[in-house]
Structure formats: structure tokens, C-alpha cells
Amino acid sequence: MVTINWCQKQKKGIRLIEINENLANEYVRTAEETLEVLKTIEGKSKVWLATTKYYCEYFSIYALLMKLGIKCEIHECTIEVSKFLEKEGLIPEGYSTILEEDKQLRIDNQYYLKNRDVPIDYDALVDYVLKIKEVIQKLTEENTESIRDSLKRNPDASE
């Protein structure tokens, strides 16, 4: 089972880095761009639909991580940080579950060619991106330091 503790021990797992607002903005822009791409492939390819849907959500979350100065290069660890951010009350509850389920759908369709249906609620995806964008815009230095300190203390110990 992947945990924050496990991720912190991995070379490309969770690391605190310098906050990068430019990258955060670029990831938001890329998530928004991905929403537009999604419109053009709907009904054409379940592989690319699943992949595009997942990356729209992933880019949104990763934008927030860049704004917080958190780097994860393992997708499972990004999901674990998302769960942590839910517990901290920073992002809406359930966002990590959406990300995790859509990651599995992407894997099933992209790597195992299962051709599973990809439910698309465009309004919900737009809301997902906008909510994360709003969280990024409202982050204060105090919020950021609190999240970073809590992550340093390793939340796995308190579970």
C-alpha cells in the first residue's frame, strides 16, 4: 500500500521544493487546454478519452502542488498527497478518489486495452479545474507553510 511515508522515501516520491508560481500557472493553463482537447475526442476513442480526462484532473492537482512547493513524480504519490490535502481541508473531499478512479480507468484502457466506457461530465470536470484554481489563488503564505510543516511531520504517523 502506498503511503505518504513510503512516498517520502522514494527517489522520485514526495519532496519539498521551492514554490513555483510560474509552473503552477502553466499546469492550470495545461489543465484548461486539456479540457478543450477532451471536447474534440469525445465519442472517438476510449483510450484517449480516459487519458485526457485523467490528465485534466492530474494537471490541476499538480498545479496546486507546484504552488505549495511539493514535487511528486510518482502518480500514486500525487494521489496520496491529494488525500492528505483533503484531510487538511485544502481541497474538496472526494477529489483524490476521482483522480484515483480515473487513473485506473486510464490504465485499463491505455495499457490493457479494456475499452471501458469513459463517463464524461464536462461541467464536473470544469468545476474540478476551477475549484483547484480557486484554491491556488486563495493560498496564503501561512496556509502554504502550515501544509508544508504538516507534510514534514509525516501524516502517516497520525493515522
Residue ranges covered by each domain of the chain: 15-144
- pLDDT tens track, the chain, 159 positions: 889 999 999 999 999 999 999 999 999 999 999 999 999 998 899 999 999 999 999 999 999 999 999 999 999 999 999 999 999 999 999 999 999 999 999 999 999 999 999 999 999 999 999 999 999 999 999 999 999 999 998 756 444
Topology given in CATH for the domain delimited by 15-144: Four Helix Bundle (Hemerythrin (Met), subunit A) (1.20.120)
Q: What is the DSSP letter of 113?
A: -
Whether residue 136 contacts residue 63, with contact meaning beta carbons closer than 8 Å, is answered with yes
pLDDT in tens, 43-80: 899 999 999 999 999 999 999 999 999 999 999 999 99
Q: What is the CA angle 143-144-149, rounded to 5? A: 100
